[in-house]
Chains A and B, each alone.
Chain A
Amino acid sequence: MSLASQERTLARGLVAPAVLWTLAFFVVPFLAMLALSFAHMEGRKIVQGFDPGNYLRAFGDWSQLKALINSVEITLTVTVISVLLAWPLAAIIAWRVPQRFQRLALLLAVLPFWTSYVVRSYSWLLVLGKNGVINQALMGLGIVAEPLALASTRTATVIGFVHFFVMLLTLTIYANLVQLSPNYARAAQDLGAGRWATFAHVILPLTLPGVITGAFVTFVLCIGDYITPQILGGNTELTLPQLIMLQMGRSGNFPMASALSVILMAVVSLAYAGCSRWLRLDRV
Chain B
Amino acid sequence: MTQRALTALALLTLATPAFAQDTLNALVWCDHTDPALIAPFEEKYNVKVNLKEFEGTAAGLAILDQSQPGDWDVMVIDSVDVHRAVEAGKLAELPADKLPTADFFPELVMADNNTVDGKTYAVTEKFGYNTTSYDKTKVDPADMEDMAALTSGKYDGKIGIYDYYLPVLGLVALGQGINTADVNADTLPKLQEPLMALRKASKQVSDVVSSQTALATGDVDIIVGGGEWLTAVLAKDNPNLDWTIPKQGGLRWSQSIGVVAGTAKPDLALEFVQYIVSPEGQAALAQSSCYWGMPANQKAGDLLSAEAKAVLRWDQQPDYLKRSQLYPIPDAATDTAMQDMWTAMLNQ
Binding site for B on A (CB under 8 A): 43-44, 62-64, 66-67, 70, 125-126, 129-132, 147, 149, 151-152, 231, 234-238, 243, 246, 248-252
Contacts and interface: CB of A to CB of B under 8 A. Distances in A.
Nearest to A151: B219
Contacts of A67: 347
B131 interface: no
Interface in B271-301: none
Contacts of B332: 43
Interface in B144-173: 157, 163
B339 interface: yes
Q: Which of B203, B213, B219 has the most CB of A within 10 A?
A: B219
A62 B61 CA distance: 28
Nearest to B335: A251
B346 A251 contact: no
A131 B217 contact: yes
B26 to A, nearest CB: 18
Given A63-B347, A236-B204, A129 B218 contact: yes
Contacts of B347: 62-63, 66-67, 70, 237-238
10 contacts: A44-B62, A125-B213, A129-B218, A149-B219, A151-B219, A234-B204, A234-B206, A235-B346, A236-B205, A252-B59
B343 interface: yes
Contacts of B204: 152, 234-236
Contacts of A125: 210, 213
Interface in B205-225: 205-206, 210, 213-214, 217-219
Contacts of B210: 125, 152, 231, 234
- Going nearest first, the 7 A-B pairs with the smallest beta carbon separation are A252-B62, A234-B204, A129-B217, A235-B205, A63-B347, A152-B204, A63-B344
B329 to A, nearest CB: 16
Contacts of A131: 217-218
Given A67-B347, A151-B219, A152-B219, 5 more contacts: A131-B217, A231-B210, A235-B346, A236-B205, A251-B339
B234 to A, nearest CB: 15
A235 B161 CA distance: 10
B96 interface: no
Contact of B65 (A63, A249, A250, A252): A252
A130 B348 CA distance: 24
A125 B204 CA distance: 13
Contacts of A129: 213-214, 217-219
Contacts of B65: 44, 252
Nearest to A232: B210
Q: Which of B55, B205, B210, B336 has the most CB of A within 10 A?
A: B210
